[in-house]
Structure 1
Amino acid sequence: MSSPTLSDRAVARHGWAQAFVTVLGGLVAMGAVAALGLWAAGAADLPDGSFPPVVAAIMIMSVGGTVKLSGDIGVLAGTEGGLTVLPLSVTLTGALVIGWGFLRPLRHRAVAGASELAGWAARIAALWLLALLALALAARHTFEISLGDGPLGDLGDLFGITPEVGFSTDVPPAVLIGLVWLAGVLVLALLVARGAPLPGRLLRLQTSVRPAAHATVQLLLAYVVIGLAVALAVAATRGHPAETFAVILLGLPNVAWPALTIGLGATWDGRVEGPFGLPMPHVLDEVLRTPDVTALNLGTLAEHDGRVWWLVVVDAVLLLATAFVMAALSPARIRPWQHAVHLAVALALAVLTICLMARIDARLGLSVLGIGDLGEGFSGQVLLRPRLWSALGLALLWGLVTGFVGALLEREVRRRGRTGR
């Protein structure tokens, strides 16, 4: 029998206790952000003790699950709807905490065996699977809603109708998508973290992939930080702090990252209908609250607020900085045109991820006696979808240009530094 290798002993060190702490830390962080965001949005006043199930639903949605809305009140009335949206503040919080917990036992290492990484990831995945099952089962509730004093209220009193609205998740798809989300987080953590060890066969990624991935993730985080600063300034100067903090805690990247794509010139199609909507800045609500689906881009936003053109400037500056960082982290032998290609691919993948994660489709309808248009206070829709191919094309173009220019700037700075010495 062969003796245990160094990799095998490392796998043993990364035990279930550390995996449990990693998963628990991610769940606690996500739950805290979701609960505070819902509280700021006024969800703490929901009836019948529905706040904890709503928090669980938000956590399931943050890893890609969907919530179905329904009502069961006989043949006289009915409700239907669905909610497909990622509360990306919760998503980002969970990804950062779990990614950090995954990499922490591997710190100060140059190389890690594939079996070690697989074993460590499998422990986290097994506990994450149990957590997803618990959340998916907890994310369901039914509560009564009032019909008010209008026509719906009169019909309700006449027929003794007390509408009940419920929500639930499909457990198998939620668990499967949640596991895929975890796999993406762990792989991205290995690719992005400069000090994370890789298997010997993948060490070439340290020079060809990791600099671009690291710099692009920094770009996305920088946009979140800028969005946070803007949101705090709005809360301090224009009032409505609870609404602003609801945006911050539930959907700050949902606003910041599409803003990055809009600054590139991309267009999103959207609509807000009814008296309710997802937390979003007022200017977006103005643009999207139209009878039909409308385009959301630099032109339509500038009609309501001309400062939106600053998004182009911010994109240009941050992308040049991203290209500079990427070139500084890369070996000197890589040429500027190669940096341009690397950044173009990385930015296109980032924009693709934003387009897939930031889309919104929320619907709720209430009908009594088959009359679906009664009670405008109970029906509505929030829709936001990207024009994907044009967004990807613009990302490639911006990546090529800024990647090349940023690489030239970095090469000039490096040359002057050598001359100065």
Structure 2
Amino acid sequence: MSSRTFSGRPAARHGWAQALAAVLGALITMGAVASLGLWAAGAGDLPGGSFPPVVAATVVAAVGGSVELSGDAGELAGTEGGLTVVPLSVTLVGALVVGRAFLRPLRHHAVAGAPELAGWAARIAALWLFALLGLALAARHTFELSLGDGPLGDLGDLFGIRPVVGFSTDVPPTVLVGLLWLAGVLVVSLLVSRGAPLPAGLLRFQTSARPAAQAMVLLLLAAVVVCLVIALVVAATRGHPAETFAVILLGLPNVAWLALTIGLGATWDGRVEGPFGLPMPRVLDEVLRTPDVSALNLRTLTEHDGGRWWWLLVVDAVLLLAAASVTAARSPARVPAWRHAARMAPALASAVLMICLMVRISARFGLSVLGIGDLGEGFSGQVLLRPRLWSALGLALLWGLVTGFAGALSARGVRRRGGAATRPRQEA
């Protein structure tokens, strides 16, 4: 073995320059996707030069940071607001770029030492920390809100009320959660990569956890690709391309992974009120725009749209069987089918848990003048979307067991046919 080992070349192969390139690459990519998505959603018309801070706030939200809404309308008026939403398109591209940059220096090494991996990750984390601080400080802005020509506008003119609204970030939680997000991305990247080495103490996970983790990542990405194809067809055939591209660039994984859980049978509770500007497919807006919180699942979607949404069940079954087959194919042939099922079930439940935590939405903004207008058109809005968590996890475990067992049997059949096909040539 050459003396120029992984531990002997850390500065040359994964030093500060490479760490800076990884962080800058992620920030530039996330900022570009966020900018295009916000522009398509109409945020380019926001007053007061607020577009760059809004982009920074979107990137902060994409890594789990805390974005707070605020308002000041004087003694005769009141404002309220709150926002919890993760633009997962921005999150996904950032994770892919960071993960790729983290794995690139490791791809030619069979074994990696834990200190070397920790040092390489620490370089990226140190620079990422400064990037988070910069984003948190940049993601704040205030601007004056016009009350319009209705009763609110007349009252505002009479009493000289000029409401000011804005947003800012809570820096400590943003930095903490952003670092945890980075740590999760690096760990998952190392776990699912087929070419990256694991430390000696983790080699036992090479054949147990790694195939299932790889299959879950492929499952999530496949769901996004399927949703992307559908969105592009919709943009080309049904009009409203700007709205569709806003969904693609800001919330495509939100929609894809929500659909994935609904196809498993999960139920989400939600409500949409007012002209809230969060991009979402029209059918979701129509199902959730009710006086009370409504259930979002296969039954309600099917009742609303003529029974076409049952295809989600079929697509989920195909994707899960494919993921289970990939898991079995990348595992040793001696592993029994029940063990594949036992590995697939918690892996799928973990993926569904991540979806439930990341896709939920809570957003509200309201304005009133002398008690008038809190529910007025244009000055109040609410979007609520939350999962019924335990039933979703239970369904994921059940689907994982069934498809894991079926996938193992199908992979075993492929191995047998492959072996039968190669034996005559070997004997000849």
TM (norm. structure 1) is 0.98
1:11 equivalenced with 2:10 (yes/no)? yes
Q: Partner amino acid for 1:378? A: F
Give the 3-state SS of the residue equivalent to 1:365 in structure 2. Answer: strand
Q: Partner amino acid for 1:12? A: A
Q: Superposed, which structure 2 residues align to 1:40-55 within 5 Å?
A: 40-55=40-55
1:70 maps to what in 2?
70
Q: Superposed, which structure 2 residues align to 1:99-110 within 5 Å?
A: 99-110=99-110
Aligned mates of 1:394, 1:88 — CA distance in 2:
23
* Residue 10 (structure 1) shift: 2.9
Measured against aligned partners, the alpha-carbon deviations of 1:133-163 in whole angstroms (never above 9, x if no partner) come to 0000000000111101101000011011111
2:128 maps to what in 1?
128
1:368 maps to what in 2?
369
Give the 3-state SS of the residue equivalent to 1:420 in structure 2. Answer: helix
Aligned mates of 2:83, 2:276 — CA distance in 1:
13
* Residue 71 (structure 1) shift: 1.2
Aligned mates of 1:159, 1:374 — CA distance in 2:
20
Number of paired residues? 418
Q: Superposed, which structure 2 residues align to 1:244-255 within 5 Å?
A: 244-255=244-255
Q: Partner amino acid for 2:8? A: R
Give the 3-state SS of the residue equivalent to 1:92 in structure 2. Answer: helix
Q: Partner amino acid for 2:230? A: V
CA contact (8 A) 1:262 1:297 kept: yes
Measured against aligned partners, the alpha-carbon deviations of 1:28-80 in whole angstroms (never above 9, x if no partner) come to 00000000000000000100000000000000000111221111232122322
* Residue 277 (structure 1) shift: 4.0
1:388 equivalenced with 2:386 (yes/no)? no
More displaced stretch, 269-278 vs 173-182: 269-278
Aligned mates of 1:129, 1:418 — CA distance in 2:
52
1:408 maps to what in 2?
409
Q: Partner amino acid for 1:318? A: L
Measured against aligned partners, the alpha-carbon deviations of 1:244-290 in whole angstroms (never above 9, x if no partner) come to 00000000011000100100000000000012241111110010000
CA contact (8 A) 1:152 1:374 kept: no
1:309 maps to what in 2?
310
Aligned mates of 2:278, 2:289 — CA distance in 1:
12
1:269 maps to what in 2?
269
CA contact (8 A) 1:30 1:90 kept: yes
Q: Superposed, which structure 2 residues align to 1:20-419 within 5 Å?
A: 20-305=20-305, 306-371=307-372, 373=374, 375-419=376-420
Aligned mates of 1:110, 1:166 — CA distance in 2:
51
| Structure 1 segments of 4+ aligned residues over 2 angstroms from their partners | 4-13, 369-376
Q: Partner amino acid for 2:384? A: L
Measured against aligned partners, the alpha-carbon deviations of 1:327-348 in whole angstroms (never above 9, x if no partner) come to 1111111111111111111100
Give the 3-state SS of the residue equivalent to 2:79 in structure 1. Answer: strand
CA contact (8 A) 1:270 1:385 kept: yes
Aligned mates of 1:372, 1:121 — CA distance in 2:
51
CA contact (8 A) 1:75 1:369 kept: no
Q: Once superposed, what is the RMSD of the aligned Cα atoms?
A: 1.2
Structure 1 runs not aligned, ≥5 long: none
Give the 3-state SS of the residue equivalent to 2:83 in structure 1. Answer: strand
Aligned mates of 1:372, 1:387 — CA distance in 2:
33
More displaced stretch, 67-76 vs 401-410: 67-76
Aligned mates of 1:188, 1:171 — CA distance in 2:
26
Aligned mates of 2:20, 2:77 — CA distance in 1:
46
Structure 2 runs not aligned, ≥5 long: 423-428
Q: Partner amino acid for 2:278? A: L
Q: Is the alpha carbon distance of 1:374 and 1:159 closer, same or farther for their aligned partners in structure 2, counting shifts above 3 Å? A: farther
Q: Partner amino acid for 2:76? A: L
CA contact (8 A) 1:89 1:248 kept: yes
Q: Partner amino acid for 2:125? A: A
Aligned mates of 2:375, 2:341 — CA distance in 1:
56
Aligned mates of 1:238, 1:321 — CA distance in 2:
31
Q: Partner amino acid for 1:249? A: L
Aligned mates of 2:414, 2:37 — CA distance in 1:
44
CA contact (8 A) 1:151 1:375 kept: no
Q: Partner amino acid for 1:231? A: A
CA contact (8 A) 1:112 1:197 kept: yes
Give the 3-state SS of the residue equivalent to 1:52 in structure 2. Answer: helix
Aligned mates of 1:27, 1:292 — CA distance in 2:
39
Give the 3-state SS of the residue equivalent to 2:304 in structure 1. Answer: coil
2:425 maps to what in 1?
none
CA contact (8 A) 2:192 2:214 kept: yes
* Residue 201 (structure 1) shift: 1.2
Give the 3-state SS of the residue equivalent to 1:382 in structure 2. Answer: strand
Sequence identity, in percent? 78
* Residue 416 (structure 1) shift: 1.0
More displaced stretch, 77-86 vs 13-22: 77-86
CA contact (8 A) 2:356 2:389 kept: yes
CA contact (8 A) 1:277 1:381 kept: no
